[in-house]
């Protein structure tokens, strides 16, 4: 949460911080994007090849057994989480997360992650409001 606060409020910050940057834009534009894609761990887009020539989701999960084929992993894993009726089933952010934080441990509690998402969602709305006020004041100044 401290890193997110620095990202949102430190005016000297020059580089975007992922996954914050893309998620903020996603909320701003109302265009959900999967964290699997943001983290470059959606095997439909990017695959990690081990030293043994085996394809997997990413380096950090090399050697972790997969329940599904790589081509369908993200979609099938998300479906499984929703079918199980766990916290993903009613999560307002599932369309952006897709269960990213639940693999390989499906019992992971996402309370902290949800706080990050809420803060990014709120920040996106604040930016929209600020831009609307700015545009209104600009129009009034030109009148």
- The residue assigned the tokens 């129009």 is 139
Structure tokens at 82: 């929703």
pLDDT tens digits, 75-89: 999 999 999 988 999
Q: Any idea where the domains of the chain sit in the sequence? A: 2-8+16-124
What confidence category does residue 11 fall into, taking pLDDT thresholds of 50, 70 and 90? confident
Taking alpha carbons only, the member of 14, 21, 64, 74 closest to residue 44 is 74
Higher pLDDT, 110 or 61: 110
Share the mean pLDDT of the chain.
92
Give the global pTM: 0.87
CB 55 within 8 A of CB 70: yes
> Which pLDDT value is given to residue 49?
92
DSSP line for the chain:
-HHHHHHHH-TT--S--TTHHHHHHHHHHT----HHHHTT--TTT--EE-TTS-EES-GGGTT---SS-GGGHHHHHHHHHHHHTSGGGG-TTHHHHTTGGGSS-TT---HHHHHHHHHHHHHHHHHHHHHHHHHHHHHHHH-
Higher pLDDT, 143 or 74: 74
């Amino acid at each position: 949460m401290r890193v997110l606060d620095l990202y949102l409020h430190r005016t000297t910050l020059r580089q975007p911080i992922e996954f914050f940057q893309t998620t903020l834009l996603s909320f701003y534009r109302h265009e959900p994007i999967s964290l699997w894609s943001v983290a470059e761990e959606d095997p439909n887009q990017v695959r990690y090849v081990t030293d043994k020539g085996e394809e997997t989701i990413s380096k950090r999960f090399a050697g972790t057994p997969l329940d599904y084929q790589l081509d369908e992993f993200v979609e099938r894993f998300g479906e499984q989480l929703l079918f199980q009726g766990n916290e993903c089933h009613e999560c307002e952010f599932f369309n952006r997360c897709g269960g990213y934080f639940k693999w390989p441990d499906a019992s992971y509690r996402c309370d902290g992650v949800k706080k990050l998402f809420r803060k990014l969602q709120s920040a996106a709305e604040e930016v929209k409001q600020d831009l609307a006020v700015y545009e209104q004041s600009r129009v009034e100044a030109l009148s």
